[in-house]
Homo-oligomer: A and B are copies of this chain.
Amino acid sequence: MNFEFQNPTRIIFGAGTITRLGEVVSEYGRKALIVTGGGSVKRSGVFDNVVASLKAAGIEYAECSDVEPNPRITSVSRGADIVRAEGCDVIVVLGGGSVMDASKVISAAALYDGNPWDMILHGQEEVYVPTEALPVITVPTLAATGSEVNCGAVITNEETTVKSFIQIPLLYPKVAVMDPELTVSVPKDQTAYGVCDLITHVTESYLNGVDNTPVQDRLAEGVIHTAMEWGPKAIADGNDVEARAQVMWAASVALIGWAQVGTDAPYPVHMMEHTVSAYHDITHAAGLSIINPAWMRFAVKSNTAKYVQFAERLFGLQAKSEGDLDCALEGINRFEEFLRSIDCPTRFSELGITDELFETYAKDTLKIVSDGKGNLPGRPFLSVDDMIEIFRAAL
């Protein structure tokens, strides 16, 4: 277990912290690009509050709105163009994971003359690794991805139907201003997707990582326990700020890196899902909710002891032995039941997706990440046929 870890993002967490945004932004720049998604932050009044806070601190702003749920590289280019045209020197992002991901890439693209798609891993031999970026201040309005406190971003190229990612320390946000009150208007289904998303972030590292990472395992289990306890409360009553706060913090901790250090884990479920949602405009977490249990049932035999641990520690089951496959499978059943209990889909058919493109998804996934021998890294490594089998089990 050798690793390096550093997460320099400064976190300001709590109800009402949004009022401090202007003061925080003024430490980093004089003119902000405010990046937003589909308009909910305008309808909810958050945008106006943010502008008021910036103005009070003497910060000017320009705007890049309408970033898509699966953010496109053209939106990145558009944002970078606005930064250059308007002379912005800091980026403030209001929204969920998609908007935050786009903003992180905009921060580097604005200082790069080439095509921003050069920075995204997508099977080309050389990826351009940016070395400078504008400061980014994240203001999450949805608890889900942890993007507010990590250095990753997932971007779609709509021309080539490729969805892939960048993850480099340069892209850590300078500050995350996390105000759970901003999430009270998130509808039930998106709240539930957020819960599924955050859980999947830790099941990936937990189930695909190397052996003997006991601290990391316990942290991951702690995040899942918390999500299963407080997620349903936030879904049941969106105005429960306490539940909103717990889910928001759990989502950040899920992908801040604490549960991942030293696990050296590939994220096969994410890689497969990215390919699916490059073809269908579905919420990322809906795809995860469908693929993850099916993947677990495929992978359980490769790493049974870990699934037994999952079953015992998360669902209180009692295994007969370390390799008790029945117990491991029952743990997966219970997990899937939890997803269904919060109304997340667990079959493609629920979203109207058929088996038509299963082979395409599998082959496309390998174009993004592969071991060079036609397999997707994970525990176990997956061939095209394996992936098709998993997709089919989730039909």
Contact = CB atoms under 8 A, between A and B. Distances in A.
Interface stretch (A2-10, A78-86, A298-306, A338-346): A2-10
Given A215-B246, A219-B222, A226-B218, A6 B10 contact: yes
Interface in A202-242: 212, 214-215, 217-219, 221-223, 225-226, 229-230, 242
Instruction: In the A-B complex, list the 5 residue pairs whose CB atoms are closest, starting with the nearest.
Output: A218-B222, A2-B14, A6-B10, A5-B11, A8-B8
30 contacts: A1-B14, A1-B249, A2-B13, A2-B14, A2-B15, A3-B11, A4-B12, A5-B11, A6-B11, A7-B7, A8-B8, A212-B242, A212-B246, A214-B225, A214-B226, A214-B229, A214-B250, A215-B223, A215-B249, A218-B218, A218-B219, A218-B221, A218-B222, A218-B223, A218-B226, A219-B219, A219-B222, A219-B253, A219-B258, A221-B222
A183 B211 CA distance: 22
Interface of A: 1-17, 212, 214-215, 217-219, 221-223, 225-226, 229-230, 242, 245-246, 249-250, 253, 258, 261-262
B6 A262 contact: no
Given A215-B246, A218-B221, A3 B14 contact: yes
A230 B214 contact: yes
Nearest to A225: B218
Contacts of A262: 13, 249
A8 B245 CA distance: 24
A3 B13 contact: yes
Nearest to A313: B225
B5 A13 contact: yes
A57 to B, nearest CB: 18
A273 B5 CA distance: 32
Contacts of A5: 10-11, 13
A341 B221 CA distance: 27
A1 B242 CA distance: 8
Nearest to A229: B214
Contacts of A246: 212, 214-215
Nearest to A249: B215
Contacts of A245: 1
A229 B262 CA distance: 19
Contacts of A4: 10-13
B6 A9 contact: yes
Contacts of A222: 215, 217-219, 221-222
Contacts of A261: 11, 13
B226 A215 contact: yes
A297 to B, nearest CB: 26
A3 B14 CA distance: 6
Contacts of A219: 218-219, 222, 253, 258
A253 B253 CA distance: 14
Nearest to A174: B6
Contact of A13 (B1, B8, B15): B1
B8 A6 contact: yes
A262 B12 CA distance: 11
A114 to B, nearest CB: 29
